[in-house]
Amino acid sequence: MNKVIPLLLAFVVLASGSIHSEEQQTVITQQIEKLHSSVNRVRINAVIAIGKVGEPAKFAAPYIIRAMAKDEVGYPNFPYYAEALENIGYDPAQDLVKAVINNDHRITDELATVMRMTKPEGIKEIVPALINALNSNSNDIFMRIRAIDTRVRAAEVLGVLGNFAEDAIPALVDRLKDEEPLVRSRAAMAIGRMGPAAVKAIPALIEALQDEKYHVRLSAVGALEGIGPLAKKAIPALVEALNDDAVGVASRAKRALDAIGPEITLSPEELFLDLISKDIQKEKEARANLRKLGQASGEMVQYLITILRGKDEGNQLRAISALRAIGPFAEDAVPVLVPFLKSESEVVRHFTVGALSKICAKSEKYIPTFVDVFLNDGDIFVRTEAARALGNIGAKAVPTLITLLKNNDPFIRANAAHTIRAIDNPAAKNAIPSLRKALKDVDDEVRIEAAIALGYVGWEEKEAVPILVEVLNTPLAKEDQATSLAARKMGAFLALHRIGTPEALEAIEHLKPEAVKKGSKH
C-alpha cells in the first residue's frame, strides 16, 4: 500500500497543476506519507512542513483533514492542522456543507473546527445552507432515514461552530420538537454550545425537560447549563429535574443550577452592604451574586453609579470592583467610570482600568481610551493593566498593537508584544512581520517578549529559537520562583514547544527534570 501512495499523489498533483517544481512535489508527497505515522511528533512536523509550502500544497488538504480526523491526540493538535490548511489557502466552507449533506460523519466535526479556527467571519454565510440541512425531510422511507442523519449532522456542526452560528438558534429550537429523539437531543446540545446568545431558547428548553426520552432531557439540562446565569427562569424546572428517574439527568440538573446560580432577592443596597461587609463569606457571596446578575444588572448598576458620584473613595473603589464583577452588562456606567482614569490615586486608576477592561471587552470603540492610559499613565501597573485590556478586545486591537511595537519606549514595545501573544485569534498573525523585526530590538525585554509571542502566534519561527533557549538557560534562584523571570521561562518553554523545530524540541528535551520537562509531552 505504501508504494501505491506516492503514485496516487503524483496523479493528484499533475491533475491539480498546482505544484511549481519537482522539488516541492517530492517534499509534499513525502510529508503526506508521514501523516500516517503512529508517532505524534512525526505527524505534526509533517503538517507544519506542508503548511510552510503554502498555496502549491493546496491539493494536500484532503489528506490533512483525514489525518486530523484520525489523530489520536485529538483537539490539542487541531490548531496545527487548522493553521496548515489556512496557510495552503484551503477554505473549508463548501466542503463542510457538502459533508453535512452527504452525511460524511468522519470529517464534519473536523471541518467545522477548522472553520471556527481559521474562517470565523465566513460562518454566517454558510448558516442558511446548514439550516436547510437541519430541516431536510423526505416521504420516501429510505430517503427519510438519510434525512434524519442529515438533520443530526447539521445540528452537531452548528454546535461546533458555536455562537458564530447563532443565527441558527430559531431553527434549532424548532428541532426540539423533531419526531426523531436523536435530532431533538443534538439540537439541544447545539443550543447549549451557543452560550448566553441562546437566551431566547430557554422556554423551549424548559419544555424539553419533560421529553419522554431521557437523553433529550439530559441535553436540555446541559443546554441550560451552557446558557448560564441568564437561564434563571429555568430554576424551578431544574429543581424539579433533580428528582428525575434518570440519575444522569438529576446530577446534571444540579450542575446546571450551580452554573446558573440562585435567584437574587437582595436589593442593590443590601447587596452592596454585603460587598463592603467585614464578613469574608458575605463578601464572597456578594461578588458571586454580582457575576450572576447578567441582564438583570440594570438596577444594581444604577445604584453603583450613585456611589461613584459620591465622595467616599473607599466606597467608590468597592463600586468600581462591583462593576468589574458585573462585566459587559455594566456598560451604562462607562461614562461615569472614565473620569476616574485621571484620579490622583494610582489604586483608583488601576481598579478603573480593570473594570473597564471587563465591561468593554471586545468593544473596539474603547481602544483609544486604553491606549492613552498605556502610553501616558505614571504608574507601571496601571499601564500594564491597560495593555491587558487591549488584549481582551482581541482581533480589533491587533493593528494598534502593531503600531505600538514601533514606539520609542521599550516598556511599550515589550508589553505590546506580550499582549499580542495573548490574543487567541488568527488576526494576531498579522503581527508576525513586526515581531520578527522586534527580535533585533536594542532592548532585551523587547526581544524576549517578541520571541515568545512569535512562538504563540506563528510556527517554525527559527529566528526566535536562540533567544528563547537563552531565556530557558538563565539560572532561576529559589527567591525568583514567583518573579517575571519564572513566567518568561515558562513562556519560552511553551513557545519552543509550539515552534516545534528540531532545535526548539532539543532545547526542551535537555531541560533538567525539575524544570518543566513534563510539559513537553502532549
CA angle 133, 136, 140 (to 5 degrees): 145
3-state class of 521 per DSSP?
coil
- Mean pLDDT lowest among 287-291, 298-302, 350-354: 287-291
Measure the CA–CA gap between 280 and 288, rounded to whole angstroms.
12
Give DSSP secondary structure letters for 27-80: HHHHHHHHTT-SSHHHHHHHHHHHHHH-GGGGGGHHHHHHHHHH-SS-GGGHHH
Instruction: Measure CA of the first residue to CA of the last residue in the chain; give whole Å.
Output: 30
Would you state the torsion angle of the CA atoms of residues 478, 482, 485, 491, taken in this order, to the nearest 10 degrees?
A: 120
Which cell numbers hold the place of 333? 456606567
Task: Give the pLDDT band (50/70/90) at residue 27.
Answer: confident
Nearest to 420 by CA among 516, 496, 495, 354: 495
Asked whether 281 and 273 are in contact (CB, 8 A), the reply is no
pLDDT at residue 460, rounded to an integer: 62
From residue 311, alpha-carbon distances to 19, 323, 338, 377 in Å are: 71, 18, 16, 23
Contacts 24+ apart (CB under 8 A), 505-513: 505/41, 507/465, 507/468, 507/469, 507/472, 511/472
**Which domains are seen in the chain, by residue range?**
4-223 (1.25.10.10)
Nearest to 61 by CA among 36, 87, 90: 90
Task: Give the pLDDT band (50/70/90) at residue 268.
Answer: confident
Would you state the torsion angle of the CA atoms of residues 446, 449, 453, 459, taken in this order, to the nearest 10 degrees?
A: 90
CA angle 276, 289, 226 (to 5 degrees): 155
Measure the CA–CA gap between 292 and 329, rounded to whole angstroms.
11
Residue type, 188: A
Q: Report yes or no on whether pTM surpasses 0.85.
A: no
Q: What is the crossing angle of helices 367-376 and 380-393, to 10°?
A: 150
Block residue for cell numbers 479556527:
117
For residue 5, pLDDT beyond 70: no
pLDDT at residue 16, rounded to an integer: 46
How large is the average pLDDT for residues 231-253? Answer: 91
How large is the average pLDDT for residues 213-223? Answer: 96
Nearest to 196 by CA among 234, 229, 235, 157: 229
pLDDT tens digits, 459-470: 667 888 888 888
Block residue for cell numbers 508589553:
415
Task: Give the pLDDT band (50/70/90) at residue 325.
Answer: confident
pLDDT tens digits, 41-51: 888 889 988 98
Residue 253 falls in which region: left (phi positive, over 0), alpha (psi -120 to 50) or beta:
alpha
In the structure, how many helices (H) and strands (E) does the chain have?
30, 0
For residue 397, pLDDT beyond 80: yes
Task: Give the pLDDT band (50/70/90) at residue 53.
Answer: confident
Which cell numbers hold the place of 177? 420538537
For residue 15, pLDDT beyond 50: no
Half-sphere exposure of 89 (CA within 13 A, CB side): 8
Asked whether 187 and 199 are in contact (CB, 8 A), the reply is no
pLDDT tens digits, 415-438: 999 999 888 777 888 898 999 999
Asked whether 220 and 248 are in contact (CB, 8 A), the reply is no
Measure the CA–CA gap between 105 and 285, rounded to whole angstroms.
45
Task: Give the pLDDT band (50/70/90) at residue 296.
Answer: low
Enumerate the H helices of 360-427 as residue ranges. 367-376, 380-393, 398-404, 410-421
3-state class of 363 per DSSP?
coil
- Mean pLDDT lowest among 73-82, 187-196, 208-217, 395-404: 73-82
Alpha carbon of residue 383 to chain centroid: 25
Q: What is the crossing angle of helices 444-457 and 484-499, to 10°?
A: 40
For residue 483, pLDDT beyond 60: no
Measure the CA–CA gap between 28 and 102, rounded to whole angstroms.
29
Task: Give the pLDDT band (50/70/90) at residue 12.
Answer: very low
